[in-house]
Amino acid sequence: MADTCEAVVRAVREACPGLLLGFSTRAAIEPDWERRLRLIRSWRVRPDFVSVNYWESHPLDLSRALGELGIGVEAGLSGPADAQSLLASGLQPQRVLVEISEPQP
């Protein structure tokens, strides 16, 4: 999978210089938290930002690891608890995506 992601990043950057490129870290892509983190750390060609869903496990640890790698974070928030967790952490994401799934947000 890493080789495919690398090839896509290279192709998009060649075709669209300056376009910000992001990846998802959704748990459904790789449910094992530790393996997911190892895969992220193995990226040779990195995106500009990565989406981190704050309703999934280890969002703060993942956000900090991405920061150490020089990768921006798009914080995915699904409600007030996620926003409070982000604010309390002191982390400053590059972007915030709000995804409310309640019937009447």
pLDDT above 70: residue 1? no
Q: Are 10 and 39 in contact (CB under 8 A)?
A: no
Given CATH 3.40.50, say whether it is the number of domain 2-98: yes
Mean pLDDT value of segment 1-20: 89
Q: Are 102 and 79 in contact (CB under 8 A)?
A: yes
Torsion from C-alpha of 28, 55, 22, 47, nearest 10 degrees: -90
Rg of the chain over Cα atoms, rounded to whole angstroms, equals: 14
- Going from N- to C-terminal start, the domains of the chain cover 2-98
Q: What is the pTM of this model?
A: 0.86
Tens of pLDDT along 47-104? 999 999 999 999 999 999 999 999 999 999 999 999 999 999 999 999 999 988 776 6
